[in-house]
Amino acid sequence: MSAPVFEELSVGQAVSERELLLTRDRLVRYAGASGDFNPIHYRDDVAVSVGLPGVLAHGMLTMGAAASVATDWLGAAGRVIDYQSRFTRPVPVDAAEGAAVTVTATVGALDEALRVARIDLKVVFDGATVLGKAQLAVAFA
């Protein structure tokens, strides 16, 4: 895949799509890296005791993994100057199957004067959007 070129982008253009598999192993590794050892992210009994369906993925793990779909597409062609998102639904992670999250990155807006593209992420698990208004501002060289 060749590097993206700002002048070749258009609003509404899908630039990348990928399915991400979040597993319990990945949650444990993320907990160690982030320091977030809340047991709702690794113990079903604790998650259920507080009214959750089971172990949930860390919101920031979901957010970061989703951004990787856009940053992998971008490569060295530019840099992320802003990233924002809203957490709209939790992502339950089954012990055996994990959780398959689909991410589609689309050009949402272009600022030709600044050479900045807004990349909108559609992040879906089990047919429902799990990150709302997930947007990266990307500055091209």
Radius of gyration of the chain (CA): 17
Whole-angstrom distance, CA of residue 67 vs CA of residue 40: 23
**Contact predicate 9/25, CB 8 Å:** no
Mean pLDDT rounded to a whole number for the chain: 97
Mean pLDDT of 71-93: 97
Q: How much is the pLDDT for 1?
A: 67
End-to-end CA distance of the chain: 18
d(CA 45, CA 56): 12
Residue-wise pLDDT tens digits, 3-45: 999 999 999 999 999 999 999 999 999 999 999 999 999 999 9
Q: Which domains does the chain have, with CATH numbers?
A: 11-140 (3.10.129.10)
Q: How far apart are CA 24 and CA 19, in angstroms?
A: 16
Assessment of whether the complete model's pTM goes beyond 0.75: yes
Confidence of residue 2 (pLDDT cuts 50, 70, 90): confident
